[in-house]
């Protein structure tokens, strides 16, 4: 199996994409510390898998908690190979409606600072363990494009892309790879906010297949990037977006509905 005997940490593990990363990693032989703000949900998730998965309550905005998460994985499974900073939130709001005190920090605290904490704590832990490791960060197509109602989200994901590059450069001498994944439209609770806004059908058409990407498809990209098959991929963000970044709505109506 591709991830046999690997030990991985996944944050945002009770969410749509996170749960599937846990499942695919277990299928491919890894042991997983499934971490999330929702500690009850990751405990329940862990119960599905026996000893291969342990739940861990974490708030990624708190560096001490993220650091303790690294230690918990090593204590539980005896090692650490892959750290995936996947926790993220959105906050659909037009810029001029922002509360300047709360809104910026709300989203960047989780999406940007949370990933920074993950990179720093994981990098230090891998160096301490004296072994190579892989750090994977969940970005978004919105890290490279502008869109309405998601100012802080896009800013935070652009920062994730740059942190991935800078960290890869500094950590490469230690045998640590750092790679981002930029999904397009994935059918998860986070994306369903667009349903409430009446935009669900509209955003479905932003995919070349004319359908939403499924969380398991993104999880398989993470599994590949975590594996030694991806050793030549470093310091970049891989688009897993079904073409989202490379086309506007086609002029000719596609036949698939
Ligand atoms: N769904 C999409 O279309 C899409 C597209 C591009 C990128 N993404 C990114 O994928 C990642 C996963 O999103 P998802 O779609 O599965 O969303 P989701 O809402 O289903 O899951 C997000 C998870 O993050 C957890 N979380 C939130 N704040 C946290 C904190 N402070 N500490 C720890 N955990 C916290 C939540 O409890 C939740 O379980 C996010 O980074 C998101 O930005 C999603």
* Substitution site in 43, 59, 88 for ligand 1 pocket (most atoms within 8 Å of beta carbon): 88
The pLDDT, as a whole number, for residue 70 is 98
Q: What is the DSSP letter of 237?
A: E
CA of 100 to the centre of ligand 1 (A): 23
* Substitution site in 89, 113, 187 for ligand 1 pocket (most atoms within 8 Å of beta carbon): 89
- Is pLDDT above 90 for 252? no
pLDDT tens figures, 39-59: 999 999 999 999 999 999 999
CATH number of 7-246: 3.40.50.720
Q: How far apart are CA 25 and CA 83, in angstroms?
A: 12
pLDDT tier, 255 (very low <50, low <70, confident <90, very high otherwise): low
């Amino acid at each position: 199996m591709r991830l046999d005997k690997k030990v991985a940490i996944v944050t945002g593990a009770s969410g749509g994409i996170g749960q599937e990363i846990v499942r695919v990693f277990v299928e491919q032989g890894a042991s997983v510390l499934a971490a999330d703000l929702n500690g009850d949900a990751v405990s329940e998730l862990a119960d599905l898998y026996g000893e291969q998965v342990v739940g861990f309550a974490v708030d990624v905005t708190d560096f001490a908690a993220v650091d303790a998460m690294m230690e918990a994985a090593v204590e539980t499974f005896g090692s650490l190979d892959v750290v995936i900073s996947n926790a993220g939130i959105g906050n659909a709001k037009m810029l001029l409606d922002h509360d300047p005190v709360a809104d910026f920090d709300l989203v960047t605290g989780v999406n940007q600072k949370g990933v920074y904490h993950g990179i720093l704590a994981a990098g230090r832990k891998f160096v301490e363990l004296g072994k190579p490791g892989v750090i994977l960060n969940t970005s978004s197509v919105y890290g490279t494009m502008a869109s309405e109602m998601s100012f802080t989200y896009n800013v935070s994901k652009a920062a994730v892309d740059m942190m991935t590059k800078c960290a890869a450069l500094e950590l490469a001498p230690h045998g640590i790879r750092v790679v981002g994944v930029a999904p397009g439209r994935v059918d998860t609770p986070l994306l369903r906010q667009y349903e409430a806004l009446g935009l669900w059908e509209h955003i479905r058409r932003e995919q070349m297949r004319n359908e939403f990407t499924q969380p398991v498809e993104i999880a398989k990209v993470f599994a590949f990037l975590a594996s030694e098959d991806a050793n030549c991929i470093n310091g970049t963000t891989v688009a897993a977006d079904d073409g989202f970044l490379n086309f506007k709505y086609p002029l000719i109506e596609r036949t698939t509905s």
